[in-house]
Amino acid sequence: MAASPLTFLLALELALALIGALWMRLAGYVFFPAPRPWHDTLYFLAGYAALLLLERLTERLAPAAYRELDRLMHGIGRMLKDAGVGHNAAMLLALASAVGEELFFRGALLNALAQGLGTPAALALQALVFALGHPAPGRAGRLYAVWAFAAGLIFGALYLLSGSLVPGILAHFLYNAKGFAEIFEEPGPASR
């Protein structure tokens, strides 16, 4: 029996979260420093604004590839909707991907790479690995790889500048949730 797309994606994000958390624990990396609500909120808002700016720049600089990427993302959304994934489950997936990917790519990988390569190289390399973990086909895939690399730089910078995974997790979640909401609020064929 094949797993549903939602089950597969949630399991993948849970695996990233567990591997990242275990790696961080064994290496002695700090998960979350003492709560700093204002500090983390400012970094979260700056990170989310940077992601929105990146999206607008991508749309302006490569409009044809951006439209192709948008069609691809909506196709993935339709596939999830056709598989019975509802709005609430999509929001759970947005949260799981934010937590799993930030724990693994920023909390574990970025810290480990920084110890061996220094911060600038580690920032770039973790963003490259993050981009490779977000494959897509064709011209849209090339654009998405560049976009994911830039987003990885933003998330990495948030972590390095704030000293906490919280701003990156929040920005990552809100950006993913926005994308899912846009897809799931799209009217179906019966209502058009």
State pLDDT tens for residues 22-70. 999 999 998 788 889 999 999 999 999 999 999 999 999 999 888 888 8
What is the pTM assigned to this prediction? 0.92
**Given pLDDT bands bounded at 50, 70 and 90, which one contains residue 1?**
low
Distance CA(58)–CA(73), nearest Å, equals: 15
Residue 184: the pLDDT is: 75
DSSP at 62: S
- pLDDT over threshold 80, residue 2: no
Tell me how crowded residue 43 is: count the other CB atoms within 10 A of its CB. Answer: 23
**Residue-by-residue DSSP string for 3-40:** PPHHHHHHHHHHHHHHHHHHHHHHHT--SS-S--HHHH
- In this predicted model, what pLDDT tens digit does every residue of 117-144 receive, in sequence order? 999 999 999 999 999 999 888 878 888 8
Average pLDDT over residues 158-169: 96
Residue 4: the pLDDT is: 87
Contacts (Cβ under 8 Å, ≥6 apart) of 11: 3
Residue 34: the pLDDT is: 87
Average pLDDT over residues 156-171: 96
At residue 93, the 3 state secondary structure works out as: helix
> HSE on the CB side for 170, CA within 13 Å?
19
Contacts (Cβ under 8 Å, ≥6 apart) of 159: 102, 106, 107, 110, 165, 167, 168
Residue 191: the pLDDT is: 41
| Residues above pLDDT 90, as percent of the chain | 68
- In this predicted model, what pLDDT tens digit does every residue of 61-116 receive, in sequence order? 999 888 888 888 888 888 888 888 898 999 999 999 999 999 999 999 999 999 99
Burial of residue 134, with CB atoms counted within 10 A of its CB: 0-12 exposed, 13-18 middle, 19 or more buried: middle
